[in-house]
Structures are given as C-alpha cells and as structure tokens.
Structure 1
Amino acid sequence: MKHFSRKLVAILVLIIWLSSLGTKYAKADFSNVITKSLSQNGYYKFPDGLLIQWGYASNSQDSYHKQSVYLPVSFASTPYSVVVTAKSGFQDYYAGRTVDAFYNSSFTVSANQENKEPFCWMAIGRWK
C-alpha cells in the first residue's frame, strides 16, 4: 500500500502512452485523414500523399473553345489523372471534352462549338 499511488500513476502513464501510439498512422476507416472538403468542388487528402478531387464546371469556353478548371487544392506535381464527364440533359450528345493541359493548380479542357453543357470532373494525384 506504501507505493500504490506510484504504481497507479505508472499504469495511467503507460495506458495513455499506448493509446497514443496508433494516432500517427492511418486508420482503416480513414477517420484520421488529414484534410477533406465534401462540397460540390471538394477533395480528400490521404495521409500517404494521395489526393482525390472532384467538381462541377459550367460552360465558360473562350473563343478557342478552351476552359480552365481551377482545383480546390494544388497537386504536388504533374502528371495527375483527370476524368471529365458532360452533364447533359440533351438526347443528342455532340462530343466529349478533352483535357489539353495539366498544371499543379488547374487543368484546361477543350470542346467543339456545339458542346455547351456543364461538366463534372474528377482528378487523382499526389499532394506531397
């Protein structure tokens, strides 16, 4: 009983130390993901450096039928992968959009004159 309080303190310190060991690593359910934004134009940053982004863009082509899309978070470098899908309510689909150029914080898409629909996009790459 003489050293009971010291033993109790040592046990509590050990429990706290062991419980904090797992916080440095990614949990299987990604509950400790560094940052995320689940908005319409959002992103998910994984602890290992993977970055997934998505968004919606309305039609705003310039005279060369090109449009810049600005990413919510910049990628560490290029290349990264982008998928673009037209969001059309029309029965006749004219032509898809093509990704022309990749930059760390944006990408450029092009389309023909008839393709005036808004589009959705998804990009996957590295943030670190």
Structure 2
Amino acid sequence: EQLAPLLCLSDLHLYLTAPFVLSWSLFDALACGCVVLAGDVEPVWEVIEPGRTGLVEPLFDTERLAETALRVLADPAAYRPLGQAGRQLMEEKYSLEVAVPGLKDYFERMAAAGVRRSG
C-alpha cells in the first residue's frame, strides 16, 4: 500500500539484481510509470526493451550505471516517456484483465490433456 505512491513520485527505479531473477519491484515500478534502469541480464530482457520501456546497463559496470542514473535524474521529464511505455506494457501484458484469462485457458488446456505433476 505504501510502495505504489512512492514509486509514482520517483523519477527513477534502479533494478540491479543478482541472482538474475525477476522480482515484484520491477513490475511494481513499471506499473507505477516509474522510469526503470536495470542491469542488462537475461530475465530483464523479458520485460524491458532498452530505450522504449526502460534503460539497461551492464550490471557490474558501476560507472555506466551511475552516469545513466545521473543523466535521468538531471532531466526526468526527458525520460518520462519510458515510464509511460513501461506502464502501458504492464497494462497490455500483465493486467488482471489479460493475465487471468490467459491462465484460465492454460489450466483448462492442461486439465483437458490430463497433464499431471509427477512426484
């Protein structure tokens, strides 16, 4: 409840994660329209299209990460379209209206095929 208002006020969300997995903070930031600067790792590629829905830099290149972060913070209005595109992506691919019917279809197909988990 408290995170969303903060993300909506933020000019930048740094998403630098190791091990290289996706977490809720990335999705939360994108859903709030916050500009995301993420480490350039494979799971991030599933969500961030560099220069369109966010920014990526090599995860362990601290100078480039800092330079990019400072550039965004110096002119947040110039980067706001990235945040807007990220929010649109969340609405189009991950909203309840999209995700729930997709999951329902998936489970119905699995049930019809008789797929069972082993073990």
Say whether the fold is shared (TM-score over 0.5): no
- Normalised by the shorter chain, which TM-score bucket? under 0.3
Which has the larger helix fraction?
2
For the pair shown, the structure with the greater C-alpha radius of gyration is: 1
